[in-house]
C-alpha cells in the first residue's frame, strides 16, 4: 500500500512516477523497498490517467460507506440474540433448581 501512496504523492507534487522516485519516497518513509513491487506498480500505472482514477475513486468509497453502516446494525443484532437466549436459559434453570 505504501507504494500506491508514494505514487499518489509524486503525482500530487507533479513529479514523474518512475522507479527511482518511488524508491526514494518509500525509503524516506522508513519502509523496506521491494524492487519487484516498484517495477510492477510503475508498469501498471504506465497507461493510467491518475487524475481520472482519483476522481472516480470517491464515488466507489461513498457508495460503499452506507452499505457498511447498514451491515453494522445487523451484526450487532445477531450478537444480542445469544445474550437473550442465555438469559432465558438461566431463567429456566432457576425454575428447576
Q: How many CA atoms lie within 13 A of 53 on its CB side?
A: 12
Q: Where in the sequence is the domain holding 14, given as residue range(s)?
A: 1-48
Q: For the chain, how many structural domains are there in total?
A: 1
Residue 39 belongs to some domain of the structure:
yes
Residue 6's SS3 state is helix
Q: Is residue 10 part of a domain?
A: yes
CATH number at residue 36: 1.10.10.1410
Q: How confident is the model at residue 58 (pLDDT cuts 50, 70, 90)?
A: confident
Chain centre distance of CA 1: 9
| pLDDT in the model for residue 22 | 93
Higher pLDDT, 95 or 2: 2
Checking if the pLDDT of 60 tops 60, the result is no
First CA to last CA across the chain, in angstroms? 58
What average pLDDT does range 13-35 have in this prediction? Answer: 93
Amino acid at each position: 500500500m505504501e507504494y500506491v501512496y508514494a505514487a499518489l504523492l509524486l503525482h500530487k507534487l507533479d513529479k514523474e512516477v518512475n522507479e527511482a522516485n518511488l524508491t526514494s519516497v518509500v525509503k524516506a518513509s522508513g519502509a523496506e523497498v521491494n524492487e519487484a513491487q516498484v517495477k510492477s506498480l510503475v508498469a501498471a500505472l504506465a497507461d493510467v490517467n491518475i487524475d481520472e482514477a482519483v476522481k472516480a475513486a470517491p464515488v466507489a468509497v461513498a457508495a460503499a460507506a452506507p452499505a457498511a453502516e447498514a451491515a453494522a446494525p445487523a451484526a450487532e443484532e445477531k450478537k444480542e440474540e445469544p445474550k437473550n437466549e442465555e438469559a432465558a436459559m438461566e431463567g429456566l434453570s432457576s425454575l428447576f433448581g
